[in-house]
Chain A
Amino acid sequence: MAAMRARHKIRAPRRVREVEVATAPTEDFDTLWGVLSSSLIEIHTKNASTLSFEELYRNAYRMVLMMRGDDLYERVKTLEENWLRDHVRKQVTDSILPILVRAQNPQSITDVQDQSNERRAAGERFLAVLKEAWSDHLLCMGMITDVLMYMDRIISADRTKPSILVVSMILFRNHVLRAPVRPDSDITVAHVFESTVLFMIQLERTGHIIDRPLIRNCMYMLEGLYETVAEEESSNLYLTTFEPAFLSTSREFYKEEGARLLEVGDAATFCRIASQRIAEESERSRYTLVTATEPKIGEVLNNELIRKNIEEVVRLEGTGVRHMLDQNQLDGLRIVYTLNARVDEKKSALTGEVSKRIVELGSEINASSIAPPQAPSATEKDPGGDKKEKAKEREKAVNPQTASAIKWVDDILALKRQFDQMWEKCFQSDQNLHKSIEDSFEDFINRNTRSSEYLSLFFDENLKKGIKGKTEDEVDALLDNGITLLRYIKDKDLFETYYKKHLARRLLMKRSASMDAERQMISKMKMEVGNQFTQRIEAMFKDMTVSEDLSVNYKEHIARSADPDQKRIDLDIHILTSTMWPMDAMVKARDGQVQLPCIFPREVDNLRQSFEKFYLDKHSGRKLSWQASMGSADIRATFQRSNGKTQRFELNVSTYMMVILLLFNDIPDGESLTFEEIKERTCIPEYDLIRNLQSLAVAPKTRVLKKEPMSKDVKPTDRFFFNNDFQSPFVKVRIGVVAGGANKVENQDQRKETEKKMNDERGGSIEAAIVRIMKQRKKLGHTGLMNEVLTQLSSRFVPDVNMVKKRIESLIDREYLERLEDEPATYGYIA
């Protein structure tokens, strides 16, 4: 048993023995250190390839095992310190030429070309030396750390001391980078380094080519050095020293550049250079400096170059945004937008300028429509020379004013298109800009008091003629354009009034090119403005369909009951609900004049009576009033030629014309009727009579009557003869009513009238709204009531505050409301 144990007797560990021997005489440590230190110097002088790693490692290892690791650590530290101070620093400071020290201000010297070249060469040399020193340091320290691996493990296990590599980095920072350039100077290598690099960057900014990789390498050096032992990312020298300096010089530079560019005063140049600079700086951050700087230098650019100048640039006379908009300089605008967007989320500078310009352009359009130029109408007539017939056919209704109304709409649409395009192409469909563009359009469109009417005319024109020969899609787009404008119009009720008026004519005179298009239009309006808005318009359409049925029924009724011998007149009748249709607009009552019903010729009157009987049988209690002014008739006229022949024409005339022409049936050939006689016998209102007679007797193509004396105007004293010599290339002749048969721009009087009516109607709406609100609330303050009223009505029109007040007063008078005595400025509802 004892023998067995003996086998296990542990051999005294050789290492321990050595240690015990070694700890006593310290010279052994010193000998080892002697060998090691000279080898470390060899490493620094790049003679490492002859050294044995194993030997160096063993030396260091032994020293640590002697429990002298700390001593070794300190000695290596001192050795490195000495080496850096005595060799590396000298190498680096020697490479600094006086010119680099003198020029601490990066800007001051760039102006002088010679010096600049010299400085640049000196700087590159210096940077190269520094870079070399750094990479040597890295390399050597890598090797030294390998050799001292064992020591490092022990030291780092303690966690009280930084590893030797970290220490060497600190030493490099202190003894090379932060060493004074000259023994007596307080300028350090780091200062010179900084100013040199900044100088290089300055050179590059002014268009020179510099050694980017060199600078990049130097930046790696800064990134590898730290302010603290812990080496946090945020404490590396690049971030703590160089970057702030770089940013502050950049700030200066761009401040100046901004001022200089403004002086040049060309917005396009400014924008081009600014965006170039932005690209340059981001490239610089990525390839010359450190990528993390990119956002920071971007912020400098934003602040110094853009934010401070963008407003002025945008407003620059002759080259600013206004100019770009006018010249359609899409690229310029795009850059302006990008620049502005960098500094301002709302892009207020650009937005302001764009909306200003829109309003300006819009006002121009407004102005040109209000004072219709005579020139266009003249030119319209001129080319009419050879194509007279056609032109007349097509444009007989388009008078200059209507044309200018349509032109107004077209112009606005063109403008809108232009800006929409810019918005899409240059402004990246920006929401803010979109809103401001919309607002601007709304603004100037509503400044034109006639916008509603013009727009309605635009629709009228297009629905009558414009859409002929167009595909469905085109029609759709056209209507959509109109609807866009409708969106801008605030007084939608006014538009409704006009639209109804125009629609009524289209329907009754069958001028509409396509009923489908009409319906489409209504559904579009419904979508845009709402159900309530189109209710009455839809009712008009309903009347039309009901009337068609009615006509058919009546025809059947006649066929069954009437005397077959009787010369039959076909009747197409439209029964209109008076509240839905703009009656007054159609009847055109002259100031207080009592409108006598038109006296129809006997045959026609019979027909009228027969129908009235038929209709009232069906719907007792209703009252029919006949609107001759809106009707039309097809009549067959026989002309007795002087050569004895007769020629027949089918004339399509207005109801009034029919009445007039039938008068001539009753008088012998060659006899005449005076204006007064005609007026007396027919009771046609004078205004209508004049116009109808003009069509019949003045218009050269449709001269069914002769007038004496021949003149353009119809006077009460004129005499009219039946014109047996009437000639026309066609068998069917359509005789339109001169001026007034078609929709056109109202004259001043009509306008006033419309406005007056409008106001009455609005008054009603306002009162209705007030009562509705008060009935619900019972009691409400003045401002509250005003606000409610405004919101309720805003979809139709913008009520005038005074008018609302007046209406409130009137309601109080009529005892719908009362002022509450105990609460000032509050109304109560009287049930």
Chain B
Amino acid sequence: MADTTVLRKDQLEISLHNEKKLIKEGTIKDDNPLDLSEPFRELCSACRRGDLKVCQEKITEGVNVNARDLYDYTPLILASLCGHYEVAQLLLESGALCERDTFQGERCLYNALNDRIRNLLLEYDYSKSTDPLQPLAAHIASLLTRESPVTTDITVAVADQEIALHKFILAARSPYFRAKLAPAPETTTWKLPSTTPPEAFAAAIRYLYLGEAPRELRSGPGTGFTESEVFTGIDKISKHLEIESLMDSLLDSGDRRRARQRRTVELGKGRDQFEEWFRENVLGNRVVIETSKVDEVKWDRNNAIFADVLLRADELPDEDDGATDEVPKSTLFPCHRAMLLRSEFFQAMFTSSFREAHIKDQLHIIDVDCAPDVLEIILTFLYTERADFPLEIAVDVLFAADMLFIEKLKTKAAVVISTLGSGVSQSEAARTRGTKDEDDIDIYAIIRAAWLTRVQRLEEFAARFLAYRLEAHIDSPEFAELINESAARIQARQETDSIELLDDIRFYLNERFRLRFDDAGLDELMEEQPPIAQSEDIGEITEGVEAMNVAKSTPATTSLDALTLQSNGYTREIRTLDGAIVEDEFDEDAMNYQILLEKLDALLERLNLDA
């Protein structure tokens, strides 16, 4: 009774009502807005099915992962309820909120199908997760205090205070500076009206650099300015620099939730400004030129977009049409070192005493060992935190990000490959048994890339991919070679270690069949595909089976005559992988599982490997 921390029901209702009112008035935003659009519906149904690919596609399209449907389900609740671990992980990584002590958050947790998902959700509790744009903001804010390497190119003075700043940031964020600096890119100092209190100016600069709003402004005795003077100053400077929302960002810092939302909005806006500026100036000013003529390109240090370095990416001659007359082309991107510093590679480069670190009147042209489109992706990420790219170049991005030490982009590339690459949903894949022409991706290339770039997640993805389509791969020499390579990787470390890839495949194989055992019957009921398609599939399977080299040591299965099974009103024949006919699907699965495991063992024996 004395417990005041728990609100009485009427109080709770009042607060909910107030919140709704505020949301209606537009003061605060609803964390989980109702969304009845078609793309969101598709996302939800993909979450129900566990279709990673569609999920990723929808997220890339920009569907709000935190919205809710008619029945107050959010995609995360659905994924967690239906037990799709990978989907839940993808949603969380894409910014889905699962905050304890909120209605939707607790629903996620209670609905989680198993402990694995529940623990995943707890890991992402809001207190730990941050705004996805925070790394970008943190980097830009850190530029204000970074001492080495020097990337600033303008000194802005207010009264007797001077701050070294970046022209491109000023131009991107403040229309005032954009207008003033564009015609005179060589400017190195700028004076603002001296009546501005330094505190107000500092707040403005912090705002421009996406810094957090200060808890309180320093004023009163000692600073020489009263609080109201500082606020007037801020008001004035925000008008002067044309950054109207500066004042709001300072005034809102009282309420936590509102401050958070405000910050999210501000960051989003800031990012958009950067993006706009980036697309217009950096991408807009890219130079495509014949590779042989690259050295003739001269960019003066004083250029209208304040670039201080040129990045070069060469197009590779397309292998397919070997002897083309096309002259190899290169693309040059004018960039800003301040942003490139987000990559450890560039940071080492610009702080070292190598050639690239010396400042000259002509901008350096720095070769980046990747294709122009990949470089564009990388730059986009560095400038805007956006990482949306198609599967085709995902592996290239992965390699480039690895080379340049951009961990987040690397992860992102891995996510793209493992979601978009997974094709249809896993259960469907298992049903088709990998025999369909869905080799969108060269899984062997991907697993090797995973090894080279040391991305665990991708290794797991590849193992799962293979496990669900093992029938198609088990007998190919390529697969054997892959196993061999995996073993070699480990042998370098320890003689008796297990083969990682094989262990992973076994794990997912187990998962695959267990899944089938569990929900096979349910599947039947849920099946909406026409039966004809089913029989077609089966036919294909049988074909595939016949084409296969069956291993010798298969267990002697009962040589039963073909049984007819009455199911859903149609008859079908069930055979195992080695052609034996079994009673029903369950037996079939059990036997297939056995057969696949034995094949793996046989493979090991052939390769003379110990595992």
Q: How far is the CB of B455 from chain A (nearest CB, A)?
A: 12
**Digit string of A138-163 for contact with B (CB within 8 Å is 1, else 0)?**
00001100100110011001101000
Contact: B392 with A53, CB < 8 Å? no
A52 in contact (CB, < 8 A) = yes
A9 in contact (CB, < 8 A) = yes
Q: How far is the CB of B158 from chain A (nearest CB, A)?
A: 37
Q: Which residues from A are CB-within-8-Å of B438?
A: 5
Contact: A157 with B355, CB < 8 Å? no
Residues B321-358 near A (CB distance < 8 A) = 344-345, 348-349, 352-358
B395 in contact (CB, < 8 A) = yes
* Listed stretches A12-20, A173-181, A772-780; interface member: A12-20
* CB-nearest residue of chain A to B452: A65
Contact: B356 with A54, CB < 8 Å? yes
A812 in contact (CB, < 8 A) = no
B164 in contact (CB, < 8 A) = no
Give the distance in Å from the alpha carbon of A61 to the alpha carbon of B370 in the complex: 13
Contact: B319 with A149, CB < 8 Å? no
A50 in contact (CB, < 8 A) = yes
Q: Which residues from A are CB-within-8-Å of B440?
A: 5-6, 8-10
**Digit string of B247-279 for contact with A (CB within 8 Å is 1, else 0)?**
000000000000000000000000000000000
Q: How far is the CB of B81 from chain A (nearest CB, A)?
A: 29
* CB-nearest residue of chain A to B441: A10
Contact: A54 with B395, CB < 8 Å? no
* Listed stretches B15-23, B84-92, B361-369; interface member: B361-369
Q: Which residues from B are CB-within-8-Å of A802?
A: none
Give the distance in Å from the alpha carbon of A10 to the alpha carbon of B399 in the complex: 14
- What is the number of contacts between chain A and chain B, taking CB atoms within 8 Å? 105
Give the distance in Å from the alpha carbon of A606 to the alpha carbon of B181 in the complex: 131
* CB-nearest residue of chain B to A50: B355
Quick one: which of A8, A13, A16, A61 contacts B403, CB cutoff 8 A? A61
Give the distance in Å from the alpha carbon of A573 to the alpha carbon of B149 in the complex: 107
- Tell me whether A149 and B348 are in contact in the complex, defined as CB-CB below 8 angstroms, given that A12-B445, A49-B358 are known contacts: yes
Contact: A143 with B391, CB < 8 Å? no
A68 in contact (CB, < 8 A) = no
Contact: B369 with A58, CB < 8 Å? yes
A424 in contact (CB, < 8 A) = no
B12 in contact (CB, < 8 A) = no
Contact: B442 with A55, CB < 8 Å? no
Contact: A49 with B420, CB < 8 Å? no
- Tell me whether A15 and B399 are in contact in the complex, defined as CB-CB below 8 angstroms, given that A8-B440, A52-B356 are known contacts: yes
Q: Which residues from A are CB-within-8-Å of B354?
A: 48-49, 51-53, 56, 143
A57 in contact (CB, < 8 A) = yes
Contact: B319 with A11, CB < 8 Å? no
**Digit string of A12-33 for contact with B (CB within 8 Å is 1, else 0)?**
1111110100000000000000
Q: Which residues from A are CB-within-8-Å of B449?
A: 13, 15-16
Q: How far is the CB of B378 from chain A (nearest CB, A)?
A: 14
Q: How far is the CB of B461 from chain A (nearest CB, A)?
A: 13
Contact: B454 with A57, CB < 8 Å? no
Contact: B392 with A11, CB < 8 Å? yes
Give the distance in Å from the alpha carbon of A153 to the alpha carbon of B438 in the complex: 36
Q: Which residues from B are CB-within-8-Å of A58?
A: 367, 369
Q: How far is the CB of B30 from chain A (nearest CB, A)?
A: 35
B198 in contact (CB, < 8 A) = no
Give the distance in Å from the alpha carbon of A154 to the alpha carbon of B405 in the complex: 12
Residues B385-444 near A (CB distance < 8 A) = 390-396, 398-399, 403, 405, 417, 420-421, 437-438, 440-442
Q: Which residues from A are CB-within-8-Å of B355?
A: 49-53
Contact: A54 with B368, CB < 8 Å? yes
Quick one: which of B319, B352, B366, B391 contacts A17, CB cutoff 8 A? B319
Q: Which residues from A are CB-within-8-Å of B395?
A: 10-11, 13, 15-16
* CB-nearest residue of chain B to A158: B493
Contact: A8 with B420, CB < 8 Å? yes
Quick one: which of B366, B405, B421, B448 contacts A10, CB cutoff 8 A? B421
Q: How far is the CB of B53 from chain A (nearest CB, A)?
A: 9
* CB-nearest residue of chain B to A62: B369
Give the distance in Å from the alpha carbon of A126 to the alpha carbon of B244 in the complex: 66
- A sample of 24 cross-chain residue pairs with beta-carbon separation below 8 angstroms, ordered by A number, consists of A5-B440, A9-B392, A10-B392, A11-B396, A13-B395, A13-B396, A13-B398, A13-B445, A14-B370, A15-B395, A15-B396, A15-B399, A16-B395, A19-B452, A48-B352, A49-B358, A51-B354, A52-B356, A53-B357, A55-B367, A58-B369, A149-B344, A150-B403, A154-B454
Q: Which 4 A-B pairs have the closest CB atoms?
A: A13-B395, A53-B354, A15-B399, A10-B441
Q: Which residues of A contact B (CB under 8 A)?
A: 2, 5-6, 8-17, 19, 48-58, 61, 65, 142-143, 146, 149-150, 153-154, 157-158, 160
